[in-house]
Every structure is written in C-alpha cells, then in structure tokens.
Chain A
Amino acid sequence: MAKTAQIDVKAQDIPGSLRGFLRSVLESGDIRAILVPLHLPMKNTVMPALVSDPERLKDADPLAPAFPMNTAKVVSRLTHKPSGGKIAAVLRPCEIRAFVELVKLKQGKTDEIVIIGADCPGAYGNRDYLRFVAENGTESTMKFYRDSLSGKDSEKLSSACKSCEFPVPEGADLLIGLLGSDTEKQVMIQALTPKGEELFGKLGLSESAEPPGRKAAVESLIARRKAYRDKMFAETAQSVDSIGKLTAYLADCVNCYNCRVACPVCYCKECVFVTDVFDHDPSQYLKWAERKGAVKMPADTLFYHITRLAHMSTACVGCGQCSNACPNDIRLAELFRTVAYRTQKAFDYEAGRSLEEAPPLSVFREAEFAEIEGIK
C-alpha cells in the first residue's frame, strides 16, 4: 500500500496550502530546487521556473489553468546530464508522460529528479487563460478549481484537456490528490514510488488512509473525458478521411512549425524540414509548377504534417500544445490524438505509460502486421 497522508487546507486556500507543502519539500534538505509554474513578478502570467529560494515559492501556482508549454522538454534539458544535485518538478500528467517518452529517447534521465504531480483538472488555451486572468485577477486559480472540482468541465477548457483520460499523474513519484477529497479542508499526498516514499519520509507527514470517495471520483472524471474523446475521435476521423479532406483540414497552415516547437516529444536537435533535405533546387519548384499548373508555396505542407504524424504518433501524449501554438487555429491536437490513439493501439503501446515499455520502433517482432508486410 502506497504511503498516504492528508495535509490541511487553511481558509479554503488550496493554492496556499500547496505552496506550503512545496516549501516543506524544498526545505527537506534533499532537494536543491523545484521546477514549478510561477506567476512572473513583472507580469501576472504563469511560466515554469526553477526555484531554489523558498521565499520565491509565494508566487508558485501549480493549479493555475495555465499551460503555456509542455514542461517535459524543460525537464529533459535539466536532467539529460548530471546536474550535481536533486531537483523536484511539479508537472501535469501529460508532462510526466511526455517526459517518460523523452527518457526512453535518451533525452532526459530520472536519477536526479523527483516528480510531483497533482490531479489535473485541465487547462485553458493560452489566449483564453490570459483573458480569464484579466477578468478574475488573483482569484483566478481558486475560481477555476472550485468550478472544476464541482464536477463540470469548463467550456473554456482546451479540447485536448476535455478529451484527456489521464487526469491522474500515475507516473509521478509523489501525488497531490484532489479528486475525491474535501478540498476545502484537506488535500491528499501519496508516494507512488520508492523515490517518492523517501521524500515522503523526510516531510514528517503522518500517514492516513486514502479518501474513500477518491476512486469513484477518478472513475467518473475519466468516463466523462472518454465520452468526449470518443466523440472527438469520430468527428476528426470523419473530417480527415481522404487526402482532399486532410488537405482542407490543414489548409490554413503557413509552415511556421510552431506546432513542432511546442510538441514535447518532437525531440530532434534540428527538424528534417529545415535541413537541406527540403531545400529544393529552384528548378524543382519550376518542375512542379509546370506539372500541376500551380504549386502552393511554401510547399510540402501536407508532407510536413504527415511526417510529423509518422514520427510522433507513437509518442504523442495528447497534451494539445500543438493546437495551443498554432497561429491559425488548426485543430492539430484533435488530429494527432485521433491518429496517435490508433497507432499506439496497433503496437499495444501507450505513450508515457511506463519506462519499461520500449518504443515500438525499437522493438523487433518477427511476426506482426503480416497483412501489411505482405510476406505470405
């Protein structure tokens, strides 16, 4: 049985009590810094920050419905080589899962990091969040939390979050449990790994049972998300089921490649689409123009997205940052999740599920996809 404790929430201030908890983590002596979403001092916007001074945690807001980026990439940069000390990172479930993929791709290491994850009610799109903060000021986070814990997803929640069936950070070392708790009074802390237990031991928490309503609350949330997800899959599949429709779906793309930059599992040092491979000779463009009568510029748009689907769909965690990053509101997250779900199912693989599961392309099975291989 995992070690579980309850921490008290004072004056219904969940963010405040979490800040206190994080402070205790930083002061436990073992952790040199915590990576956590922080309200920046110069502007009321939330960005991940590596915090070493406990005082600075007063601006931490891990529950804000802000999701400016998938922090997995940041964590991989912080861990891919020895740093000389242990850090903790407060991450969303999709960030943890993306980090798991990156570790498997040798882009990060888990030796020197303790991952803290909270039950995730989802987040808004960047522009929606900024509008939301402007409207609600410092009360924003609490308002959002109260609404979402009441059992109803906010309309403004990003589509990726609405269709996410992974609200519980199962890959975390230490879990901050909100679902099924009376969060006006208490929040659950649970150690999920030996590393989590070690830290748990240092925090001087008193053990208690898991809140009885937790399991049902988790199941009900997941059921709601799955229902939304399946509807989204059906709609998306239907709208991209031919090359013509797919081209229309992506017609507004300007080859800015923001989606690729935002994608946590797009890990190449340099994308193939900016290398010489796609640096076509001028005569090539002329040839295409002559052959087809007209060629859209910049070219290779569809090719780019299909390539990214081919490269990333076994690793896609459905965080939705691609949509978040798109200047022209292309529904990329829907497309990627729909395709990724099928690809991962075909390999009996789930991105981010486990460090032990090798990525499909690293595994050779002699007998698979016989019908596609065409060998007999």
Chain B
Amino acid sequence: MKRKIGTALVAGAGISGIRAALDLAECGYGVTLIDRCPHIGGILSQLDYQFPTDRCGMCKMLPSIARDDSSQYCLRKGLFHENIEIRLSTEIISLEGEPGHFKVMLRGKPGLISHELCTGCGACTAVCPVEVPDEFNEGLSLRKAVYLPVPHAIPNTYVIDTDACTRCGACEEACPTAAIRLSQGERRQFHILVVDDELIVRDSLKEWLEDEGFSVDMAESGPEALEQLANCAYHLMLADIKMTGMDGVELLKKAKEALPDLCVVMMTAYATVETAVEAMKIGALDYLIKPFDPNALISMVLRIYQDFETGQGHLSDFGAVVLCGGAAYFNPAESKNPFGYGVLPNVITSLEFERILSGTGPCQGKLVRPSDGKAIRKAAWIQCVGSRDLQTDADFCSDVCCMYAIKECLLAREKAEGEIETTIFYMDMRTFGKSFQRYRDQAENEQGVRFERGRIHSVIQDKEDNEGNLILHYSDRGGALHDESYDMVILAVGQLPAAGMAELAEMLKIPLNPWGFAQSEPFSLTQTGREGILLGGSFSGLKDIGESVTQASAAALSASRVIHAAGGSQEIESDTSEYRDVSRDYPKILVLVCTCGNRLSASDPQEIVRELEKDPAVFHVEFLGQTCTAEGWDRLAGLAEKYKPNRILIAACLSYIYARKLRELARQIGLNPALTEAVSYHQSASNPRGSGNLLSLLRMGIARLRHADPSPVLSVPVCQEALVVGGGIAGMTAALAVADHGFQVYLIEQAEVLGGNLRWLQKTIEGYEIKTLLDDTRMKVEKHPRIQVHIRTRVIASYGQVGSFFTTVQDEEGLTHTLEHGVTVLATGGTEAAATSYGYGTSSLVVTQKELEQKLAEKSLDPKKLAAVVMIQCVGSREEPRNYCSRVCCASALKHALYLKSQNPDMAIYVLYRDMMSYGFAETYFTQARKAGVIFIQYEVKEKPRVKISDQSVYVTVFDPILGSELEIESDLLVLATGIVPALPEYIVTTFGASVDRDGFFQEAESKWRPVDSLKEGVFGCGIAHSPRSAAESVISAEAAAQRALRILSYKQLPGGKFTAKVRHSLCSLCERCIAACPYGARVIDTDSEKIQVNPVMCQGCGSCAAVCPNSASFLEGYSIRQMLEVVDAAFA
C-alpha cells in the first residue's frame, strides 16, 4: 500500500463516486467517500442488469493493479480499500477554504445500531411492529422501521429509520448482541417550549411531541415564554408568529438576545410565510406552516434533535471535493399528464419495473403485476415522462431512458421466454452511445420489440374487462388515433436534480443550470465555477454508466491536479516488516473461535476441540467471547503472543472485518499475514449455526492454512513516462494531465501542427469559441517543460508490457528513434466520413456539415443569399456498415440552422432526420430551432429522401409523415451530415497489444465499467479514436484516460496481487493453452528459455490458465490444487 500526502472528499457513493474514490485511492490519496444513504451503490443497487450487455459486471471496476489494497468481490455488495474511508448516512454541512486546503464539515446521522456489534441476524426486524413502504423496492413492498437498506450488502448491518421508528424498544430487547441503543430515555432530556395563544394548537403539539418521547412545556404568550426560558434550559422553542401582544418575531428577538444559541422554529399561517422567512434572517432555524402536517412537524423536530445529538459534525481537511450526488427521478404523479400513475395500479415507473424484474424485488423476479399477481403478457413503455416536456419545465433529454426501456423490454422478453408483447412509444429513439444503435436494431429485428413513434394522449382503465387492463390512447407517426389494450404500462421517467441540490450549490457557491443541475465550465464537464470542487457522474445531468464512470475519472484527475498543485506529493509507505521464516516448519495452527456472547451450545466446544486436534497440524484450539470488541481482541492477541503459532485461524461471524486486524496482529508477532485466515460462520435463517457446520468451516480454513504459501507479492518496474499518440484536443489534454503530475510525456502528432479537428471547428452549440480552447491548450502543451512534442511523426512499432513499452517512431525525414514509456494513450482522433450519396461531388450546392461550418467561417457563403436550405441527417450512418450514431451531427445541424436563421430569419430550413439526437441539455436548442421556424421532417431509412440537382437549385423529395404525402423542396443548398469515422490505424492499436472494434474505434476493456482502458493493461484510448464525441466529451475521456494512466505512473514498482498465477516449469509441457486462455494477455512464451512467463501485474488471478492446464503446471497462488482439493474434502466431510 502506498499513501500520498493529500486527501479528497467524494460526496455520493453511487457508481461515479465509487469510480472517483477508487481512482484517487489507487493513486495513493486518502479518500473519504460519503453518502447520505445508509448504503453505497446509489441507483445501481436497485438495478440488476445494465444495457447494452444486459448483465452487471460492476466488479470490473475494482483495482486491477495493487489489487490487494481493495476488496475483490461483488462491488454491488460492498467495497473496502486501504485508502478509502466510507462514511454512510453522512452529508456536507459546510465548506470553507481554498483549493488544496478545504475545511469541510461532515455530519453523520446518529447510528442507533452499532455496526461492530450487529451480526445481521434479523431478530430486530422480526419483532419490529412498524411497516412502511420500502424505498429499495420503490414502495412496491413494505419494510420494517429497523431494516436492511439493501438486501445484498456486505457487511449487511441493520439500520433504523428514525422517522418511522416509534421507539417501542422491542428491537433493543430482541438484539442478542446489544447492538441497538435507542435513545428513548435521552429524548426526555430534550426540552421543547411550545408558544401559541391557541390552546388547541398547544395541546396537540404537546401530545404529538410527548408521544415521541420529548419533554414539552407550553406558554400562551410571548412574555410568559420569556419567563419560562429564564427558568429552565430549553433546547427548542416552537413560536407562533401571530400572537396578540408580543408577536412571535419580537419574542424571537428577545429570546435570542438572552439565549443566542436557542433553536427557534416559527409557526405561521400560509399568509404570513414571508414574515417567517424574515424571521429566519434574524436567527430562526426554520418555520412550519399551519395547519400542521404532524409528520412534517415530527420529522423537523427529529432532525433538530439529531443535530443536537450529533453536535456540529466533524471538521476535516480535504484538498479537493468531487461531487457525485447523482440525479433524482421524476415523479409522474406530479405531472400535468400523469398517465394514470398513482391512480391506476398497473401504471408504474421504469424504476418500479426494474424492481419487478429483480430477484430481490417484490415479485422475486417473476414477471407479474404486483397489484394482482397476474403474469405480464403485453406491456407498453411510454418514453419522455418528465423529459422533453415543456409543460413540466423539462426542456431537456434525460439521456438514458430510451436505452433502459429497450433493455427492460429485452429482459422482460427473456423472463417471459418470449411470451410477451413489448411496445415502446417514443418520439425519437436516442441510441447515441457506442454500440447502442445495433442494440436497438437487434431488439427490433431479432427480439421482436415493437417501436411505435407516436404520442400518448392518455391511459385509462379498460372498461371492457375487470382485470385491471389499460387502454392506451395514442396518435401514431402520421397523426392517426388508436386505442390499444395493455396489461401493464411503464413510464420511462426522466431526471430531476438530486434532492437538496439548490441548498448544496448555495453552500458550496457553485452555479446551477436553468433546470437546477450543476453547471460546468465551457469545454469541461467536470469543472464547477469553483476550483477544487468537481462534478462526477450524473450530478450535472443524467448519464449512462460508461459516461458517468468516464466523467468520474476525469473529475478524479482534476481533483488530483489540485491536490498535487497544493503540495500533495508522493510518500510511499513501504512494508518493511521482517517475518519469521516458517517455510520448513510443520504447520502449527492456532485455532481461535469466537463464541459471540456464548451462543454456541454447551457441548460444542469439547466436540470441536476433540475433532480438530486429531489433525497433527492443529496445535491448539481456544474459544473466546466477542472478539469483535477491543477487550475480546486483546485476549485473542495475547493468546497469539503466548503460543507463537506459525499459522492462525479465526472463526467469527463477520470474517471480512478481521482481514485488516489479522494483518496487524501478524505483524505484531512477526508472522507473515499470508499465514492467517478468518472464516465466517454467520447465523441466518437459511444457515443455522451448528457445530457440524462450524466444524467443516474450521476444517476448510485449516486446509487453506496448511498449504498457505507466504511468498512475497511480485512487482514490475515502471518507466514513469507516458506516450500519447495524437495531438488533437484529446491527446493534448491527456498529455497535460499527465505532465502536470510531474511525469514526462511524449506527444506524437503526424500533422505539422497540434489541434486536430479543433483547427476547423468554430463554435460549440452553446456559443463557446473553439479557438479559445485550442489556443489555450496548445500554448500550455508547447510551453510545458515535461511534454516533448514530436510533430510530423508517426508510430512504427512497439513492444513491451505495462510499465515498460519500447516504441519506435519515425519523422518525415525517415529518421527513427525509440522511446521507452510505461503507459500509452491512443488519441488518434477521427474525421468526418466521406459523402458519397445525394449527389455529393456533382455540384457545389451539396456540402457536408463540416464544409458548411468552414464556408460560414471564411464567409464564402452568405446566409442572406440563401432562400432555402435542406439538411439531411444520418447520411451513411446508423445503418450497416456504419451502424452507429456519431453524436455530434444533430447538434451541428441545430447549431448551423440556428445560426442561419439568426442571419436570415426569412430563410426556410428543413432538417430531414431519422431520430433527433439532441441529448441532454442540447434538447433546448432543438426546441429553439423549432421555435425559430426550422422545419423538421422525419424520414425512415427505407424511405430515404431523393435528390435532383440543377444549376441553381437542389430538389429534395421526402415523404412527410404528418402530411402523409411526398414533398419536393427546392433549396439553394443541401447539407449532409455524414458522421464520424475513426482515424485509428489498426496496426498502431495492435502493436500496443490493444484492439479495435468492428467500426474501427478503440476497443475498450468494457464499455460501461472500464470505458477508457483496453484489456491490455497500460494502454488507454480517448477522444474520437475511442468513439464519436464532442470537444468537451473528448476532454473528459482524455482526462479519464490520463487518470487511469496515472494509477500506473505513480508507482516505481507496480505491485501485482497476492493471488497471481504462476508456472511450475518442471511440469510444463509448453502446450500454450494457458496463453490462449488468459483474457488479459498476461502470459507469453519466452522461446529462448522455453518457459511460459506471467506478468504479475497484468495477471488478475482469474484462474483460467490453471483451469486449462491439465497437470497444474500453471496454478493460481493461494488456490493451489492441492489446497483446494483439501478444502473441498473438508467441506463435504
């Protein structure tokens, strides 16, 4: 493990928060990862499968180098990392200071259940009398007030929902380990003064608050209240504003004069809210509106009480803050058209449907309606609920709904084994991500998902039957009206800003966009207006996993830069412990069994001792009470000191807690930590604890220990320099990001100047000048002392592996030289695809979008002279062989259409499109263009427009679905959007050991979880070479790639994992099967020595090589076949 000076705060522990935290932690920074929820994982804890693989795979995000610093199991279950402190149910209260030196106040909710003591047995839940809707299942099922936030977490300890809990104390009594400490008694110490001139108000408040266990006094006037305040110490005063005599505001002033720290909440009628707001300015904490909602009142008082209990929180220092708060989801019940949601039981949201699909959901994964248990056989998805809807002030696209709707259709079809009709009602299918278009086509053509372009008018109960079926009333693409019956309607709900966004933004002084999401700086998706505070994931608008993860890594990079600039230098903590050499000693195992408060039956210990001591390797067996407590642990450590065993086995309820402690203990007694082991014997309903079970668990542990091999973790040396291929915006950004951390970078560009596509682009759709970005970046690159730019140079060949690549480059004169570098970033970019259709090349009246941009820039085209312009989108793209969306063309068309309209409002502009891909907040430009009078005509790929060209005009014929007939448009200019093709020569990719996808773009290791890595460690891809993207999107991908590269560069010696594959050469027949089986390319045959060699860093310990090797010449350290056979034997004994 290594630690750098410098720490970061990551707020939000969803997928992007986890990514940002891991990225920073892997570089050696200390990270505090917080979430206001009691669990990590964010929205993904509720989603089992993700598009476009329809699988999970989150674990692929776990560290691939220095793997032992982190947990290596299902990431949805939990995460441990040496450098990450996870604090749940925790929020930011305040932030002060400068970038690099922020002081942040964090406050956690008081934990009523001790995580150390809770064994997750569930006795509390069994006795809890309270039932409330379970948010994990989107309210489709009920849970108790004491509950597991997610059913699959590790460690899975119970929490108490303090709002729902009645403090009855039943759980406290039931808890076998005394982990629950309700503070019922302590609440009585919290004194509340209720001041109101109406008796009925006073009485009811007193009753409600006393029910909650608080001490309540009453006063009927201001002066009386002041008198009582003088006599008794109150923690909270609830004061009515409108009272005769001294009013509430005056009372507040006087009370605050005498008791400045007193908490005061004003009570007001709706009409005097403004007065209440004024009161807050002079010291009132909050206000309540009459008539009271008792629940709101109680939860406010509870909040104040909790704040009182936890004090002011903890003040910590952080160099940078990454905000990964995610997004919230639209509630259709609040919409102007709720489509029956909340009224008709079989209208549900997409999130609710995800829970129905889930095995941990309310229907145990069966595809049935929760309302009546009837199998779902005909389901409709309604898109854009809460998105692209001006009536709900949602002039944005939520980016992910089209794709998750397709995914839900496919999952439903799989679950129903095809016995289901699935229809998606949509406006535009926004399949703009890499591989998404093919995913959609496959769903439509091979899986039978029906895509219906249309608008839903309403959803009503089907009167014809009594089974709860629904009638969808909709208009199709041509405007014709239809009624169709469905047994389930799923609303694809869009994004909302995360709860509390406005308050957080105000506190942190960061700007919001018009829809309340965090606003980023021009050309950056991660920079807020405030340096050192970064945006990760969906906090600035909903994103799919791949983009969230990319943005999170980019945010981590920017955070790291700030910390580095503020002096966060590297300081490696090397493990210099000397261990006893026990390799030649016969195993001497000390077995320690935690009795967990004497809950093993009395006869067990003797039987277990008798059985285990038959094994000559078992030296001593001892039973101890509660080793999880400090006292218990001391006793345990004492035994280890006393007996000096050469192996230690501990059996306890939550073995993973012991991993770290055991390592410390081992160091204490000079024993290699690899010779210690903890086994988990966990009591649950499905696994009742018994001596037989415990015995076999212990035997398995003994078997593992007997053959444990304490050989040291291998490492490979790192050349701490980077090669970046391609000098466009992505390459320059990546080079700067790495060089700013003090590492040498070689930037290779084949053109004469740096800049790539930025050299012809003018402005973004938002109106930002591209030239500013180009000049600024180019200047920084050219002046950077750690960047060596090689222009007019190309890569010839490379060999090597992570940490040490040798790459030969050649300049224009043919001179070659070889560079050594530890990592490679491929940023070779791409270009506009060549146009070959619609008469392109036969007339100057047909141009591409790029040419239009250039002509407008050099003013060779006068918008005033154009009467009509036609733009055709998706020219040669989104159909085979170029079946992908290029993302930027719709925005370009909108940008140019709006510009032309601004120059010549009388110009007629027709945009012929298939699906407008104005995703995210670019949707607003689509709206503006329609408002400006641009005509959008949708065409189908099988009915493409036809073009006829004369000397003066281009005649475009297209079928208009709304008119239901063909139109012939006479125009002065035809603009073709041809999309993007990569400029990534395959030989370059393969020479570095990476690969290209079927469209010639960089093939990432995994599109969602490792979006900029290649499967070959140490090679990264970004920018357009990776996939079509805008300048800002290229920047984040480059920053993400740089961050991933820095993980490696920050080591001089890159450590592999403890569980790494090795070869016993004397047994090896050199059949090379293991080389074919290794998915990470970690194995090569050295033909000189005739040996198979394993790169210990690239090896991920998956064991594929060991599985294909027939005689175990190839084996996985820590899982040797001998050991495993004995473990299996013990398990079945």
Q: Which residues on A are within 8 Å of B, measured CB to CB? A: 105-107, 267-272, 275-277, 283-284, 287, 291, 311, 358-359, 361-364, 375-376
Some 13 contacts from A to B, beta carbons below 8 A apart, are A105-B1069, A268-B1113, A272-B1121, A275-B1112, A276-B1122, A277-B1122, A287-B614, A287-B615, A311-B1110, A361-B1108, A362-B1076, A362-B1077, A376-B54
Quote the shortest CB–CB distance from B203 to chain A (angstroms).
59
* Cα of A345 to Cα of B828 in the assembled complex, Å: 45
Do most interface residues of chain A lie in helix, strand or loop, or is the interface mixed? loop
- The answer to whether residues A106 and B1133 also contact, given A268-B1110, A272-B1121 and a CB cut-off of 8 A, is no
* Cα of A376 to Cα of B1112 in the assembled complex, Å: 31
Kindly report which residue of chain A lies nearest to residue B1107, judged by CB atoms: A361
With A269-B1113, A361-B1108 known, 18 other A-B pairs at CB within 8 A are A105-B1069, A106-B1072, A267-B1069, A271-B1111, A272-B1110, A272-B1111, A275-B1111, A277-B1112, A277-B1121, A283-B614, A284-B1129, A287-B1133, A359-B1073, A361-B1107, A362-B1073, A362-B1076, A364-B1077, A376-B55
Kindly report which residue of chain B lies nearest to residue A272, judged by CB atoms: B1111
B616 interface contact, C-beta 8 A: yes
* Cα of A3 to Cα of B1073 in the assembled complex, Å: 36
Residues of A within 8 Å of B54, CB to CB, are: 376
Residues of B within 8 Å of A363, CB to CB, are: 1076
Quote the shortest CB–CB distance from B198 to chain A (angstroms).
62
* Cα of A241 to Cα of B748 in the assembled complex, Å: 65
Partner pick for A269 among B1069, B1073, B1107, CB 8 A cutoff: B1069
CB of A376 within 8 A of CB of B414, answer yes
Kindly report which residue of chain A lies nearest to residue B1122, judged by CB atoms: A277
Quote the shortest CB–CB distance from A171 to chain B (angstroms).
19
B1071 interface contact, C-beta 8 A: yes
Partner pick for A275 among B1067, B1071, B1079, B1133, CB 8 A cutoff: B1067
* Cα of A291 to Cα of B1112 in the assembled complex, Å: 28
Residues of B within 8 Å of A269, CB to CB, are: 1066-1069, 1111, 1113
Residues of B within 8 Å of A362, CB to CB, are: 1073, 1076-1077, 1108
Residues of A within 8 Å of B1110, CB to CB, are: 268, 272, 311
Residue of A105, A271, A358, A363 with most partner-chain B CB within 10 A: A105
Within 8 A of A (CB), among B1076-1131: 1076-1077, 1079, 1107-1108, 1110-1113, 1121-1122, 1125-1126, 1129
- The answer to whether residues A364 and B1071 also contact, given A272-B1121, A283-B616 and a CB cut-off of 8 A, is no
Residues of A within 8 Å of B1113, CB to CB, are: 268-269
- The answer to whether residues A105 and B1071 also contact, given A291-B1133, A375-B55 and a CB cut-off of 8 A, is yes
Residues of A within 8 Å of B614, CB to CB, are: 283, 287
- Write the B373-404 contact mask toward A (1 if CB under 8 angstroms, else 0): 00000000000000000000000000000000
* Cα of A269 to Cα of B1071 in the assembled complex, Å: 10
- Write the B1047-1085 contact mask toward A (1 if CB under 8 angstroms, else 0): 000000000000000000011111111001101000000
* Cα of A277 to Cα of B1073 in the assembled complex, Å: 21
Residue of B1069, B1072, B1111 with most partner-chain A CB within 10 A: B1111
CB of B1076 within 8 A of CB of A277, answer no
Kindly report which residue of chain B lies nearest to residue A283, judged by CB atoms: B616
- The answer to whether residues A283 and B615 also contact, given A270-B1067, A272-B1111 and a CB cut-off of 8 A, is yes
Residues of A within 8 Å of B1072, CB to CB, are: 105-106
Kindly report which residue of chain B lies nearest to residue A105, judged by CB atoms: B1071
Residues of B within 8 Å of A271, CB to CB, are: 1111
* Cα of A270 to Cα of B1109 in the assembled complex, Å: 12
* Cα of A312 to Cα of B437 in the assembled complex, Å: 43
Kindly report which residue of chain B lies nearest to residue A307, judged by CB atoms: B1110
Quote the shortest CB–CB distance from B274 to chain A (angstroms).
58
* Cα of A291 to Cα of B614 in the assembled complex, Å: 12
Residues of B within 8 Å of A291, CB to CB, are: 1133
* Cα of A256 to Cα of B961 in the assembled complex, Å: 80
Residues of A within 8 Å of B55, CB to CB, are: 375-376
* Cα of A18 to Cα of B543 in the assembled complex, Å: 75
* Cα of A83 to Cα of B1071 in the assembled complex, Å: 20
Quote the shortest CB–CB distance from B1120 to chain A (angstroms).
8
Quote the shortest CB–CB distance from B56 to chain A (angstroms).
10
CB of A361 within 8 A of CB of B1112, answer no
Quote the shortest CB–CB distance from A291 to chain B (angstroms).
6
CB of A106 within 8 A of CB of B1077, answer no
Kindly report which residue of chain B lies nearest to residue A311, judged by CB atoms: B1110
Residues of A within 8 Å of B1129, CB to CB, are: 284
* Cα of A363 to Cα of B614 in the assembled complex, Å: 46
* Cα of A283 to Cα of B1070 in the assembled complex, Å: 35
Kindly report which residue of chain A lies nearest to residue B415, judged by CB atoms: A376
Kindly report which residue of chain B lies nearest to residue A276, judged by CB atoms: B1122
Quote the shortest CB–CB distance from B279 to chain A (angstroms).
58
Residues of A within 8 Å of B1122, CB to CB, are: 276-277
Quote the shortest CB–CB distance from A369 to chain B (angstroms).
14
Kindly report which residue of chain A lies nearest to residue B616, judged by CB atoms: A283
* Cα of A162 to Cα of B1111 in the assembled complex, Å: 32
Residues of A within 8 Å of B1079, CB to CB, are: 364
Kindly report which residue of chain B lies nearest to residue A363, judged by CB atoms: B1076
* Cα of A361 to Cα of B1076 in the assembled complex, Å: 9
Quote the shortest CB–CB distance from B609 to chain A (angstroms).
16
* Cα of A269 to Cα of B1090 in the assembled complex, Å: 14
- Write the B86-106 contact mask toward A (1 if CB under 8 angstroms, else 0): 000000000000000000000
* Cα of A44 to Cα of B674 in the assembled complex, Å: 62
* Cα of A155 to Cα of B131 in the assembled complex, Å: 80
Kindly report which residue of chain A lies nearest to residue B54, judged by CB atoms: A376
CB of A107 within 8 A of CB of B1108, answer no
Kindly report which residue of chain A lies nearest to residue B1108, judged by CB atoms: A361
Quote the shortest CB–CB distance from A151 to chain B (angstroms).
41
CB of A107 within 8 A of CB of B1069, answer yes
Kindly report which residue of chain B lies nearest to residue A273, judged by CB atoms: B1111
CB of B1111 within 8 A of CB of A268, answer yes
Kindly report which residue of chain B lies nearest to residue A303, judged by CB atoms: B1125
Residues of B within 8 Å of A270, CB to CB, are: 1066-1067, 1111
Residues of A within 8 Å of B1068, CB to CB, are: 269
* Cα of A267 to Cα of B1067 in the assembled complex, Å: 11
Residues of A within 8 Å of B1108, CB to CB, are: 361-362
Quote the shortest CB–CB distance from A198 to chain B (angstroms).
28
Quote the shortest CB–CB distance from B376 to chain A (angstroms).
18
Quote the shortest CB–CB distance from B809 to chain A (angstroms).
34
Partner pick for B1125 among A275, A277, A358, CB 8 A cutoff: A277
- The answer to whether residues A106 and B1071 also contact, given A272-B1112, A362-B1108, A376-B55 and a CB cut-off of 8 A, is yes
Quote the shortest CB–CB distance from B1040 to chain A (angstroms).
25
* Cα of A283 to Cα of B706 in the assembled complex, Å: 13
CB of A361 within 8 A of CB of B1069, answer no
Quote the shortest CB–CB distance from A312 to chain B (angstroms).
8
CB of A361 within 8 A of CB of B1073, answer yes
CB of B1073 within 8 A of CB of A105, answer yes
Q: Which 10 A-B pairs have the closest CB atoms?
A: A362-B1076, A272-B1111, A268-B1111, A105-B1071, A311-B1110, A269-B1069, A361-B1108, A277-B1122, A106-B1072, A270-B1067
* Cα of A107 to Cα of B1126 in the assembled complex, Å: 32
* Cα of A276 to Cα of B1067 in the assembled complex, Å: 11
Kindly report which residue of chain B lies nearest to residue A310, judged by CB atoms: B1110
* Cα of A250 to Cα of B1076 in the assembled complex, Å: 34
Kindly report which residue of chain B lies nearest to residue A269, judged by CB atoms: B1069
Residues of A within 8 Å of B1067, CB to CB, are: 268-270, 275
Residues of B within 8 Å of A311, CB to CB, are: 1110
Kindly report which residue of chain B lies nearest to residue A361, judged by CB atoms: B1108
Kindly report which residue of chain A lies nearest to residue B1110, judged by CB atoms: A311
Quote the shortest CB–CB distance from B1037 to chain A (angstroms).
25
Residues of B within 8 Å of A358, CB to CB, are: 1076
Partner pick for A361 among B1066, B1070, B1077, B1133, CB 8 A cutoff: B1077
Residues of B within 8 Å of A284, CB to CB, are: 1126, 1129
Residues of B within 8 Å of A283, CB to CB, are: 614-617
Quote the shortest CB–CB distance from B414 to chain A (angstroms).
7
Quote the shortest CB–CB distance from B232 to chain A (angstroms).
64
Residues of A within 8 Å of B1111, CB to CB, are: 268-272, 275
Kindly report which residue of chain A lies nearest to residue B1133, judged by CB atoms: A291
